[in-house]
Amino acid sequence: MRIAIIDESPARAAVIAEGLNASGLTDVTVLTERSGLVATIEKLSPDVVLIDLANPGRDELEELFAVSRAIARPIAMFVDQADDRSIEAAIDAGVSAYVVDGMKPERIRSVLDVAIRRFNAFSRLRAELDEAKSALAERNAVDAAKKLLIKKRGIDEPAAYAALRKAAMDSGRKIGEVADALLTAEKLLGDI
């Protein structure tokens, strides 16, 4: 597992690296420079990113949240102090684990495991949500196309659905794609 540690303090980063090494994780890169951080992380392509901040300021948090939004990887953030606004911003930015005053070498591996599991669970939920939204949009398009066919052809709902299904089968496309095409054509022709 490739791990990137972001910390301007080499001493603090060494504590994290020590905890990772003690648990058998040795492919660790420490990044102490914040300039060009997103590009560096994208080039490095780590499996997990660990961010350590002593007392993060608003600008520093925003910059690191940009990293979180730019990469689809588990991110664990270690901070010495936190407030509700910082925690909420971290969660909104996609940070998988937000640890306050808990950077002990023996805890690093468990925090890493939690971050990975939370990231994977959230990714599954996001994929399921996207799939549900897509299915709903397709169903809405099919319903609208059926209504259009009923109105234009004077046929009933089962016949309208059968016409859409036949067009989909004849063209080798999904019924939702045919419905979208029909609605787009109607919109274009309706404007003429």
Could you tell me the two tokens for 144? 């609208």
Architecture label for domain 3-103: 3-Layer(aba) Sandwich (3.40)
Distance CA 149, CA 169 (A): 17
CA distance readout (Å), 182 to 31, 43, 133, 134, 148: 53, 44, 20, 18, 9
pLDDT in tens, 163-183: 999 999 999 999 999 999 999
3-state secondary structure (DSSP) of residue 154: coil
Q: Is the CATH number 3.30.450.40 carried by domain 130-190?
A: no
3-state secondary structure of 42: helix
3-state secondary structure (DSSP) of residue 98: strand
How do 75-79 and 28-31 pair as beta strands? unpaired
Mean pLDDT for the chain overall: 86
- Reported as a pLDDT band with limits 50, 70 and 90, residue 79 is confident
User: Which residues have a Cβ under 8 Å from the Cβ of 157 and sit 6 or more positions away?
Assistant: 146, 150
Task: Quote the strand ranges of the chain, DSSP E.
Answer: 3-6, 28-31, 48-53, 75-79, 97-100
Higher pLDDT among residues 139 and 41, named by residue = 139
CA atoms of 25 and 147, how far apart (whole Å)? 59
Same fold, 3-103 and 130-190: no
pTM of this structure: 0.67
Q: Once rounded to an integer, what is the mean pLDDT over residues 61-86?
A: 78
- What residue spans define the domains of the chain? 3-103, 130-190
